[in-house]
């Protein structure tokens, strides 16, 4: 029985592309012969043929100053199996316009290619219009800009990997290092779970099974133009642990509880109590990261006398327990 031809993978490199995700994907998708010598269930020959592609066969400079060699022009590629647009450094999505690449990706999709993005590369994928009406994910810090520029895409910022499309042909990974999750997904999907697991072990890779939520920082809306609500937000920054903070905010605002709730939600997107909870959990995260204080003590310091209730709230917001969060992010242990 004849061996299957390798799947062709195109890794676009454009101005603003970071070098490490491109080279990382290239090496991870071609490491099979090395891993096959150690683990069973891994093909001895690489099942992927990987190329770094771009507008022209040349060398471009990544934002870090490192060179990225483009091995083939997209104008010479009439068919590919997988396209992966990885992380770009430009923060404003409106500046990431890549019409030539977008047109080529759209054509490749029409010819059966799977289109993928990692981190901020989602912006280029979204420009094809193929994501309209579908779920997607990207780096959490890019969410406000992305939602403004692509309102028809349902952004699921807490998820690390999202698969969409009628034939699951649109695959997106979230934060900066999530290109590893994307590569393991593609290996598992096309080669098999045993191969994905073997390569993960060989490379010491861990899937981000908790999603992006544990990594998210609370970024409250402040550019809403409501001076009264902004003043309350600033007051909460140092008074989050007081007893009955919402009642105190209501008195300071001189509004009824219902009026304050409507006005606060309109400005910040969160009810007063939900806002307080996020502020308190964010402060608890900092103390879990930087101190060895017992969790019950941190609970009391951020405003919760009932440590069990604090633990439930923390897990609901951060998607991990306080103990798991500390094990993952403790700077005190690193020091």
pLDDT digits (tens, 9 = 90+) for 184-242: 999 999 999 999 999 999 999 888 777 777 777 888 989 999 999 999 999 999 999 99
Average pLDDT over residues 9-32: 95
C-alpha–C-alpha distance, residues 112 and 81, integer Å: 7
pLDDT confidence of residue 95: 46
The CATH number of the domain covering residues in 7-215:
3.40.50.880
pLDDT digits (tens, 9 = 90+) for 58-74: 999 999 999 999 999 99
C-alpha–C-alpha distance, residues 242 and 281, integer Å: 14
Model confidence at 96: pLDDT above 60: yes
Q: With bands split at pLDDT 50, 70 and 90, how would you rate the model's confidence at 89?
A: confident
Residue 31: partners with Cβ closer than 8 Å, 6 or more residues away:
46, 199, 202, 203
Model confidence at 26: pLDDT above 70: yes
Start-to-end CA span in the chain (Å): 57
Q: With bands split at pLDDT 50, 70 and 90, how would you rate the model's confidence at 321?
A: very high
- DSSP letter (8 states) at residue 208: -
The ranges assigned to domains in the chain are 7-215, 227-334
Model confidence at 1: pLDDT above 50: no
Mean of pLDDT over the chain: 91
Residue 143's Cβ-side half-sphere holds a number of Cα atoms within 13 Å equal to 20
Question: pTM here?
Answer: 0.77
Give yes or no for a contact between 184 and 178, defined as CB atoms under 8 angstroms apart: no
pLDDT digits (tens, 9 = 90+) for 120-151: 999 999 999 999 999 999 988 888 889 889 99
Q: Closest Cα to residue 120, out of 16, 24, 211, 9?
A: 16
Give yes or no for a contact between 138 and 120, defined as CB atoms under 8 angstroms apart: yes
CATH of 227-334 given 1.10.10.60, 1.20.58.100, 3.20.20.140, 1.20.1260.10: 1.10.10.60
**Residue 10 structure tokens:** 């195109």
Q: With bands split at pLDDT 50, 70 and 90, how would you rate the model's confidence at 332?
A: low
More confident residue, 288 or 41: 288
Average pLDDT over residues 309-316: 96
pLDDT confidence of residue 91: 53
């Amino acid at each position: 029985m004849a061996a299957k031809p390798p799947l062709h993978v195109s890794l676009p490199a454009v101005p603003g592309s970071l070098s490490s995700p491109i080279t990382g994907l290239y090496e991870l998708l071609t490491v099979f012969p090395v891993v096959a010598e150690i683990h069973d269930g891994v093909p001895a020959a690489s099942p992927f043929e990987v190329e770094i592609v771009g507008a022209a066969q040349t060398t471009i400079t990544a934002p870090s100053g490192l060179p990225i060699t483009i091995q083939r022009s997209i104008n010479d590629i009439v068919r590919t199996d997988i396209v992966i647009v990885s992380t770009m450094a430009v923060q404003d999505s409106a500046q990431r316009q890549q019409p030539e690449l977008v047109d080529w990706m759209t054509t490749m999709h029409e010819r059966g290619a799977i289109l993928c993005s990692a981190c901020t590369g989602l912006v280029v994928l979204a420009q094809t219009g193929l994501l309209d009406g579908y779920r997607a994910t990207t780096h959490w810090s890019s969410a406000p800009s992305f939602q403004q520029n692509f309102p028809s895409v349902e952004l699921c910022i807490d998820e690390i990997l999202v698969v969409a499309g009628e034939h699951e042909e649109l695959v997106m990974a979230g934060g900066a290092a999530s290109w590893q999750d994307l590569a393991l997904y593609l290996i598992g999907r096309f080669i098999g779970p045993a191969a994905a697991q073997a390569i993960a072990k060989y490379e010491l890779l861990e899937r981000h099974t908790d999603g992006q939520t544990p990594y998210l920082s609370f970024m409250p809306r402040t550019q809403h133009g409501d001076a009264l609500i902004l003043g309350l937000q600033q007051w909460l920054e140092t008074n989050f642990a007081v007893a009955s903070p919402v009642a105190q905010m209501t008195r300071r605002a001189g509004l009824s509880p219902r009026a304050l709730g409507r006005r606060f939600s309109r400005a910040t997107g969160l009810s007063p109590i939900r806002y307080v909870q996020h502020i308190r959990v964010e402060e608890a995260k900092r103390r879990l990261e930087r101190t060895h204080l017992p969790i019950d003590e941190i609970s009391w310091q951020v405003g919760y006398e009932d440590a069990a209730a604090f633990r439930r709230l923390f897990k609901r917001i951060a998607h991990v327990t306080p103990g798991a969060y500390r094990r993952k992010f403790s700077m005190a242990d690193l020091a």
